[in-house]
């Protein structure tokens, strides 16, 4: 075939493939236009999940009749005029392709009136064919109606899901845009039923509570920082509200909802050890940087951006969220049976069965002098321990100001050691213990190669490893902690080798935390270990002194609390 220029409508259809994927992407483009037009109220109505029609009405500045045809022309925009403008985009749109693209794959009707104009005008573009413009009655602002999306592009229509699934996606797009623009009122309906209603001029935090769930309102943790030219405010949910998917994360940069791996990763790092790795914290974060530091022109739908200083933003997000979490009492209340099943609660806590103390001496009173040593510095909001005991060689039961805290001894010890190791390694390599008799570790394949993959990391930890024969590694020295706690050294090195690939791919800090996790877990006291009184006391004191004592390094809780309030209610004392 000879080379030829494609007709304009084919060019638009090809472009539409990038911008317009499904009803949610149409809604995103139209709502962004409404926001750019200064709307204070935006209404979105869908019929059949947007497959039949999508209507977006706004009270923004409107379009003059003479410019309606231009608005749907490709590469026509009122938002930038020169290439330099790309270096500091403050509007949601700028590519001038959305309306042209939508008009090429649907029946698009534009109806608009400027606030100062007597009358409005209507223009229809039917799958690329532009009809004549005509005067029409219109409220001030703009109404865009998209009918039968992809009716003429069956290949595309096939990829769409059910009406329900599509309207769910639209809801999420609206949620993110509404979070980023709390001043704008939104109404969203599907097939005549209102799904979302948000008032104009809402306070930013109220808007988030409305969007993330009213039941979270009180528990959401606020964040507000400014550092090195990066500002961030928002909220995160406490660890026990984390979700199995990351759908409850809203991340906006300069008012634009974005999908950014680095920021998600920063959030994950901040929650590390507080939630299990398969879960995702609830978060809404609004990051602001000078527009010249972001390139938003890397993705047709503008959901991905390129950050000039990605690392800085990563650190700001991670540290701010971490700090906000550290200031919180994160011990979850124990979920007790519901009141109608009160008899069970009594069996658990009232019959004296669980409270049988295996060793009479383990109900202990710490002399007050001791308690006051950490009284001035309560971490996690937990007041100094006064009385405690070990039950079933596995659980520590501790009295605190708010009630009774039940502690998993292994999980707590693991967390304590992890924090200490982390602290210690910040000052240099961990102390090593020379072994009189080297321990041999068999490896699969070549010893020298296996060793090369972990040697730098293991040296930091205090290991001295050398090849000994073709497929054996000798351990000459090991971290003092592991030796003292009688950890199986060969097994530990084997585990490290198993994970060498993953450790190599992770960034340095993540890899280090991973191996410290392993060490803490291996060295921690186990369920079934009877603790002496002194050990118990030490452990509980350390609990007061570390951050994040509420969860083990893997994110499982170390402690749960039965509040006095709850107990009194359930036992019918109030």
Cα 34 to Cα 22: distance, rounded to the nearest angstrom: 19
* Smaller CB separation from ligand ADP, 95 or 268: 95
* Smaller CB separation from ligand ADP, 68 or 493: 68
The residues, ordered by sequence, that sit 6+ positions from 472 with a Cβ below 8 Å of its Cβ are 440, 441, 442, 443, 447
* Smaller CB separation from ligand ADP, 95 or 413: 95
Residue 122 binds ligand ADP (CB under 6 A): no
Q: Binds 99, which of ligand ADP, Mg ion, none (CB < 5 to 8 A, cut-off by type)?
A: ligand ADP
Residue 71 binds Mg ion (CB under 5 A): no
Strands (E), 308-447: 364-365, 387-391, 395-400, 403-408, 432-442
Cα 413 to Cα 418: distance, rounded to the nearest angstrom: 8
Q: Binds 182, which of Mg ion, ligand ADP, none (CB < 5 to 8 A, cut-off by type)?
A: none
Residue 142 binds Mg ion (CB under 5 A): no
Cα 97 to Cα 193: distance, rounded to the nearest angstrom: 31
Q: Which stretch binds ligand ADP (CB under 6 A): 76-84, 167-175, 306-314, 323-331?
A: 76-84
The binder of Mg ion chosen from 27, 37, 98, 251 (CB under 5 A): 98
Q: Which stretch binds Mg ion (CB under 5 A): 88-96, 246-254, 473-481, 558-566?
A: 88-96
Cα 328 to Cα 381: distance, rounded to the nearest angstrom: 7
SS3 annotation, 446-477: CHHHHHHHHHHHHHHHCCEEEECCCCEEEEEE
The binder of Mg ion chosen from 12, 33, 106, 145 (CB under 5 A): 33
Residue 50 binds Mg ion (CB under 5 A): no
The residues, ordered by sequence, that sit 6+ positions from 133 with a Cβ below 8 Å of its Cβ are 65, 68, 69, 121, 122, 123
Minimum Å gap between C-beta 157 and ligand ADP is 22
Give the residue carrying structure tokens 């928002």: 234
Residue 65 binds Mg ion (CB under 5 A): no
Q: Which stretch binds Mg ion (CB under 5 A): 31-39, 143-151, 219-227, 263-271?
A: 31-39
The binder of ligand ADP chosen from 12, 25, 53, 77 (CB under 6 A): 77
Residue 551 DSSP code: B
The binder of ligand ADP chosen from 17, 96, 199, 291 (CB under 6 A): 96
* Smaller CB separation from Mg ion, 50 or 403: 50
115-126 burial string, b = 16+ CB within 10 Å, else e? eeeeebbbbbbb
Residues 390 and 396 sit within 8 Å (Cβ to Cβ): yes
H or E stretch at 204: helix 204-212
Residue 89 binds Mg ion (CB under 5 A): no
Residues that bind ligand ADP (CB under 6 A): 29, 33-34, 37, 58, 60-63, 71, 76-79, 93-100, 142
């Amino acid at each position: 075939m000879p080379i030829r220029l494609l007709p304009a409508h084919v060019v638009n259809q090809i472009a539409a493939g990038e911008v317009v994927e499904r009803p949610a992407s149409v809604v995103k483009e139209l709502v962004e236009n409404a926001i750019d037009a200064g709307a204070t109220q935006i209404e979105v109505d869908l019929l059949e999940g947007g497959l039949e029609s999508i209507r977006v009405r706004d009270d923004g500045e409107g379009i003059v009749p003479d410019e309606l045809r231009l608005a749907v022309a490709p590469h026509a925009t009122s938002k930038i005029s020169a290439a330099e403008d790309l270096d500091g985009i403050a509007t949601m749109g700028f590519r001038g392709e959305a309306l042209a693209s939508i008009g090429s794959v649907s029946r698009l009707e534009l109806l608009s009136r400027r606030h100062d104009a007597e009358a409005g005008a209507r223009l229809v573009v039917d799958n690329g064919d532009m009809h004549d413009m005509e005067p029409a009655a219109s409220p001030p602002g703009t109404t865009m109606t998209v009918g039968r999306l992809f009716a003429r592009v069956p290949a595309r229509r096939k990829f769409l899901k059910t009406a329900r699934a599509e309207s769910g996606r639209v809801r999420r797009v609206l949620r993110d845009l509404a979070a980023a623009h709390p001043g704008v009122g939104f109404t969203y309906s599907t097939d005549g039923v209102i799904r979302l209603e948000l008032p104009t001029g809402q306070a930013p935090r109220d808007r988030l509570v409305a969007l993330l769930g009213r039941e979270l309102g009180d528990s959401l943790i606020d964040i507000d920082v400014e550092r090195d030219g990066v500002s961030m405010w928002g909220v995160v949910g406490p660890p026990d509200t984390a979700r199995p998917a990351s759908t409850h994360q809203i991340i906006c940069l300069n008012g634009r909802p974005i999908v950014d791996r680095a920021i998600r990763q920063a959030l994950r790092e901040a929650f590390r050890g507080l939630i299990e790795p398969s879960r995702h914290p609830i978060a809404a974060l609004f990051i602001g940087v000078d527009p010249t530091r972001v390139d938003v022109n890397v993705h047709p739908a503008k959901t991905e951006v390129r950050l000039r200083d990605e690392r800085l933003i990563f650190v700001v997000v991670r540290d701010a969220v971490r700090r906000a979490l550290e200031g919180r009492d994160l011990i979850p209340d124990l979920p007790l049976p519901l009141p109608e099943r009160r008899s069970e609660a009594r069996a658990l806590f009232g019959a004296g069965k669980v409270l049988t103390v295996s060793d009479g001496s383990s109900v202990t009173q710490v002399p007050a002098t001791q308690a006051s040593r950490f009284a001035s510095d309560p971490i996690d909001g937990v007041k100094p321990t006064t009385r405690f005991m070990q039950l079933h060689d596995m659980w520590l039961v501790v009295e605190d100001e708010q009630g009774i805290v039940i502690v998993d001894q292994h999980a707590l010890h693991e967390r304590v050691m992890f924090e200490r190791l982390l602290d210690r390694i910040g000052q240099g390599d961990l102390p090593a213990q020379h072994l009189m008799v080297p321990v041999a570790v068999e490896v699969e394949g070549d010893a020298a190669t296996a060793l090369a993959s972990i040697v730098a990391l293991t040296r930091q930890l205090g290991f001295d490893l050398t090849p000994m024969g073709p497929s054996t590694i000798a351990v000459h020295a090991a971290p003092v902690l592991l030796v003292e706690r009688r950890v199986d050294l060969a097994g530990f090195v084997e585990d490290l080798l198993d994970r060498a690939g993953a450790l190599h791919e992770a960034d340095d800090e993540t890899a280090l935390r991973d191996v410290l996790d392993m060490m803490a877990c291996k060295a921690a006291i186990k369920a079934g270990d009877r603790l002496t009184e002194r050990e118990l006391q030490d452990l509980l004191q350390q609990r007061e002194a570390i951050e994040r004592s509420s969860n083990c390094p893997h994110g499982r809780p170390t402690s749960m609390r039965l509040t006095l309030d709850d107990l009194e209610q359930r036992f019918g004392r109030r």
